[in-house]
Amino acid sequence: MGRIVVISTGGTIASRWQGSGFAADADGSEVMATAPLPEGITVEVVDLFSVNSPRLTTAHQLTLLRTVHEVLADPGVDGIVVTHGTDTLEESAFLVDLHHHDARSVVFTGSQRPMGTADGDGPENLYDALLTAATTRGLGVLVAFAGRVHAARGTVKTQAVALDAFADPSKELLGKIGFGKVAILRTPQRPAPLALPAMPELPPRVDVVVHHADGDAVLLNAAVAAGARGVVLVGTGAGNATPEIVDAVKAAVGRGVLVALTTRVMAGPVTEIYTHGGAVDLVAAGAVPAGTLRAGQARIAVLSALLASGEVDEQVRILREVLGAPRSVLVGA
């Protein structure tokens, strides 16, 4: 069915016991040796790095992004699988998706249980990801996990340790995998892809600030004072905070800081309903509503907008396009 390149980055799927806990230390060839190959597929392995995904930096993620583009420059490659830790998989997958302009699929997968365990889920997830990469086209970046296929955009880790770890709480399932076949149930909507960014010597700082009862503007102001060029405000409800935080957002935006507004609620969009510090006022102060994207992916959207341009107005335009209704939809092969 095709030639698939597996890019190995570590995570639980590459983890072994270290005496006090598990950590990634296996290379891609060792990970591949745990799983059978779908019939007709040949695999090549790129060992990019092997780390627990909470340790990933923007530099790691940009290296992964550039590696994906370099691999797809070979027309003989039929698809890519990225093995990745589950903690930050949703962020890396979304970053690659925002810059993915190729019909060939890039499929992220991982595991919830370490390699070598009798009940490990890594081999099945890897088999499914290979099958998905070889048989799908025009869907952007995907996540194959626990017999399900998810679009990168909107998909988050919803289970800390259970095997069915990922879902998009705001949308219907994209596809299912079983009996050697991949069934795609809908076509994801995606904005026009961004150009591949340069590798900055020092990536822009983008912080996440969560609102809560009794919350004030101290942490948001501290992020700006620490040099944040972007901030994601995680509001309550449909994207709400307080008048004091509205003032802090307005001041940050006035200094050229990009501010995105999301919510700590599991599902549903940020919606301008409430004033007195609610989303009505926050958006008026310059925060860009993130729709149904949650904090991790909203942060990636802000980061990508900052990397795409040095002009604040252009950064805001790009951020609105990435977070809002897509200008165009990529479909087909």
Annotated binding site: 53, 86-87
Cβ neighbours of 225 (radius 10 Å): 8
Give CA angle at 175 (30, 58), nearest 5°.
55
Helices assigned H by DSSP within 23-57:
28-32
278 in helix, strand or coil?
coil
Q: Which of the following is catalytic: 86, 109, 236, 292?
A: 86
How many helices (H) and strands (E) are present in the chain, helices listed first? 9, 16
* Alpha carbon distance, N-terminus to C-terminus of the chain: 16
Report DSSP state, residue 298.
H
Report DSSP state, residue 12.
G
Within 8 A by CB and 6+ apart from 69, the residues are 99, 196
- Is 86 catalytic? The answer is yes
Strand partners of residue 177? 182
Where is 17: in which H helix or E strand? strand 15-17
Two structure tokens written together for 56: 């990933």
Long-range contacts of 185-188 (CB under 8 A, 24+ apart): 187/138, 187/139, 187/329, 187/331, 188/139, 188/140, 188/151, 188/153
Q: Which of 309, 226, 294 is nearest to 260 (CA)?
A: 294
Binding site residue list for substrate: 53, 86-87
Q: In what order do the strands lie in the sheet with 258-263?
A: 206-210, 230-235, 258-263, 288-289
Strand 106-109, strand 175-178: pairing: unpaired
Cα separation of 7 and 259, whole Å?
A: 33
Active site residues: 12, 86
